[in-house]
Structure 1
C-alpha cells in the first residue's frame, strides 16, 4: 500500500475495489474528513497506459459541481449590492432570452440557479448530442470552442418544459445565463469573478474555472475515460425513452481517452477544476455559511423538491447545490457532477463536520459505485434515481 493511503475503513475499501473489479471503473478515490482527521483511499489506475496510481491533491474536472461555484459568485454579487437575486434576465440581458417561447421578462436569477426557469435539459439538445455523443463526431468536435452567445442559443434551442417557477427541471443553460449576467454586471470575465469572490477568499490554490479555450489542467490529474456513446450512424433525433438502450454502443467496446477536451459548452455549469480536499473546503463553507452573509446563505439553501423531474427523487435543490436524504433519514448537503470521462461527489452532514468526497475517472461506472461508498461511510443508500 502506498504511503499516502490511510489505514482503516475496510467497508469503504471493499466498495472501492468492487467499483474497479466488478463495475469496470478505471479507478476511484475517496477522501473523508471528520473528527478523526483526513482519510484517503484509492483503487485502480489514474492512467491505464502508464499504470500511474491515484494520489491526493489531483486536479479533477468536477462537471456539474461547477454550478455551486456559479451560484456562490452570484450571491456574493448580491451581497455587494450589485444585483438582486429576483432580478429578471431581461434586466441585465435585454432581449437575449426570447426564443422558442422563453421570456426573459419573467425568468429571474433565482429561477436560473434553482433549475426552475423552465429551460429544457441542455445536455439533451440535438446539436450537443450530434457533436459529442458519437465517437466519430467527438473526434471532430472535442476541441470546439463555444462562445457565450452559442451556449445561450443552445439553452433555448428547444421549447420550455414549464413556466418560470412552476417546476424543477435540471438545466445547464440556466447557469450559462447566470454567467453571462455576472459578466454584464461586473464588466469582468465570469472566470475572474469566480476567482475574486470564491476561490481567493477561501484560499483555494488548486481550483479554477476553465477559460473558454482551455482544454486541460494546470497540475497533476488522472486520465479521463468515456464509453457512453450512441452507435455510429444513429441520429440523436431518433432516440426516444423506449428505444435508447438499443441505440447505445456495445458496452464491451474499449473506452476512449477524453482527458483533453474543451468544456466551454458547459460555461457556468460544468467547467470547474478542483481537488478533492479543496472541494471539501468549498462545500464546508457552503454548508456552514463561512463564505456567504446570512441572507445569501439562506437563499442558497432555500430548496425546491426534485420529485417528478427524472432526477434524484430523494433530494431538494437549492441554488447550485442540493440536499440528499439517505434511506436512514440522514440529510447530506453538497453537490455531484458527471461529465464526459469524470464523475465527482462531495457532500457532508448539515453541520459540515463529516465530509465525504469521491471521484472516478469514467462515466459508465459511477453512481452505483458511489452509492456503495455512501452506504459504507454513512450506513444508508443515497441515490434513488427517479427514471
Structure 2
C-alpha cells in the first residue's frame, strides 16, 4: 500500500511540473514503511540544479502554528490566558482603528474571529511588496497595519483570515515575556522539538542558508495596475500569468513575522506537525485548545477543512473517518502544505518554489495520501 501511495504522490509531483508550470516541487512522506522523498522539476531555472532533501524553505503562514504553540506554551506556564482581552497586554493599541480591545481576546486573534480585516491585502502592504521589495517592516508598523482599516465584524461573529491578529499575538508574546518573538519561539517550540534547521527569519534577511531553492513569482501584476487598488475580490484578475517567472528569493519578508516568518525544512516541519497533531508538544489542555475548530465555514481554500489556533483540521466525515491535521502557507516564491493523521502515522509535507495557480496540487496530494477526493 505504501508503495502505491508513493507512486501516486510522485505522479502528482510530475504533473505539477509538466502541467501546472511549477519550477520545482518536493514531497516528504512518513508512513509505516519509513520515510520517502520525492521530487520533480528544478530548484533553480537558470542552473537546472535539482531539488533534494534538507533545503531551507520559507513556510509562510505555516508559521502561524509556531506562534499559536508559543502562546499556548505561555498559557501552560500560567503567564497569560487565551481569554485575556488584548487591552490587558497592549492597552489602547486597537482603539486607533475603531476596534474594542476590551472585547477582542487572544483566542480571537489566533482563530481569526476578532473582526480584523484581511491584512494581507492592505494597499500599503501590497504596494510595498511590489515597489519596495527590500523594505524592512518594524513590529510597531505591523501592529499599526493590523488596525489600519475598520473592523469587518464583531468579536467572535465570523472567521476572516487576518495576518494582523498574529502581529498582535507576536507583540503580546514580547510584552508578556520581555523577550523577542523569535527567542520565545526558539525556547518553547524549536529547542524542545530539536528542530535544528528551523528559525524565525530575521527582519533584515535577504537570503537563506544553503541549500535552498530559488523562489519565483509566476506572474507579475498586469501592466498599468496600481498595487494600491488590489482587493480580496479583484487581485487574482490583476495577475498576468503569461509573464516569465521572476526570482524573488531576496525579497524581504519582515511583513510575515509572527503571521508567517518561519524558515524550516521538510524534515523539521514533519517533526513539528507530528508533535502538535498528536499532543507531543503541548500539555493536554493546551493541545485541546489548539485543535478546537472554529464553527462553520472557517477555511475557504480547501473543502472540508476548518481552522483552529494556527492549524487546520479536515472534517472526518469528508475524510472517510480519518482525522487529518495540518498547516499550510504561501508567500511570493513559496507554497507549503503539511498534513498528518492525528496519530502521526501517515504524514506528508510538500513545497513548491512558486505559488500554485489552483488548488489542484493539494487536492491531488490529499487523494494520493489518504484516498479521499475532496469536493
Q: TM-score, structure 2 length as denominator? A: 0.94
Q: Is 120-129 or 39-48 further displaced after alignment?
A: 120-129
Report the equivalent of 2:337.
Answer: 345
Report the equivalent of 1:295.
Answer: 285
Deviations 1:325-370 (A, max 9, x none): 3454533101110111100000111211111111000013463122
Whether 2:104 is the aligned partner of 1:113: answer no
How far apart in 2 are the matches of 1:187 and 1:240?
Answer: 36
Aligned-residue offset at 1:100: 2.8
Whether 2:223 is the aligned partner of 1:232: answer yes
Please give the residue correspondences for 1:198-209 in structure 2 after superposition, counting only pairs within 5 Å: 198-209=189-200
Q: Secondary structure at the match of 2:162?
A: coil
Question: Which of 349, 354, 359 in structure 2 is aligned with 1:367?
Answer: 359
How far apart in 1 are the matches of 2:298 and 2:292?
Answer: 19
Aligned-residue offset at 1:305: 3.1
Do the aligned partners of residues 317 and 243 (structure 1) sit closer, same or farther apart at CA in structure 2, a change above 3 Å counting?
Answer: closer
Report the equivalent of 2:346.
Answer: 354
Number of equivalenced pairs: 371
How far apart in 2 are the matches of 1:309 and 1:289?
Answer: 23
How far apart in 1 are the matches of 2:46 and 2:288?
Answer: 47
Q: Secondary structure at the match of 1:91?
A: helix
Aligned-residue offset at 1:230: 2.2
Question: Which of 261, 265, 274 in structure 2 is aligned with 1:284?
Answer: 274
Report the equivalent of 2:164.
Answer: 173
How far apart in 1 are the matches of 2:232 and 2:266?
Answer: 35
Do the aligned partners of residues 237 and 143 (structure 1) sit closer, same or farther apart at CA in structure 2, a change above 3 Å counting?
Answer: closer
Question: Which of 112, 137, 152 in structure 1 is aligned with 2:143?
Answer: 152
Whether 2:184 is the aligned partner of 1:193: answer yes
Do the aligned partners of residues 33 and 310 (structure 1) sit closer, same or farther apart at CA in structure 2, a change above 3 Å counting?
Answer: closer
Do the aligned partners of residues 293 and 369 (structure 1) sit closer, same or farther apart at CA in structure 2, a change above 3 Å counting?
Answer: same
Unaligned runs of 5+ in 2: none
How far apart in 2 are the matches of 1:180 and 1:18?
Answer: 42
Contact 1:306/1:313, CA 8 A, preserved across alignment: no
Contact 2:335/2:356, CA 8 A, preserved across alignment: no
Computed over aligned residues only, the root mean square deviation of the Cα atoms, in angstroms, reads 1.9
Report the equivalent of 1:334.
Answer: 326
Deviations 1:30-49 (A, max 9, x none): 11101110010000000111
Question: Which of 15, 18, 21 in structure 2 is aligned with 1:21?
Answer: 18
Q: TM-score, structure 1 length as denominator? A: 0.91
Contact 1:306/1:315, CA 8 A, preserved across alignment: no
Aligned-residue offset at 1:373: 2.1
Whether 2:77 is the aligned partner of 1:77: answer no
Report the equivalent of 1:319.
Answer: 309
Aligned-residue offset at 1:236: 3.9
Contact 2:128/2:135, CA 8 A, preserved across alignment: no
Whether 2:59 is the aligned partner of 1:68: answer no
Report the equivalent of 2:91.
Answer: 94
How far apart in 2 are the matches of 1:355 and 1:208?
Answer: 22
Whether 2:37 is the aligned partner of 1:46: answer no
Report the equivalent of 2:204.
Answer: 213
Contact 2:220/2:243, CA 8 A, preserved across alignment: no
Q: Is 313-322 or 76-85 further displaced after alignment?
A: 313-322
Aligned-residue offset at 1:308: 6.9
Report the equivalent of 1:125.
Answer: 122
How far apart in 1 are the matches of 2:236 and 2:183?
Answer: 41
Unaligned runs of 5+ in 1: 1-5
Whether 2:298 is the aligned partner of 1:274: answer no
How far apart in 2 are the matches of 1:66 and 1:112?
Answer: 15
Contact 1:170/1:311, CA 8 A, preserved across alignment: no
Deviations 1:3-35 (A, max 9, x none): xxx998222211111100111000110111011
Aligned-residue offset at 1:239: 4.6
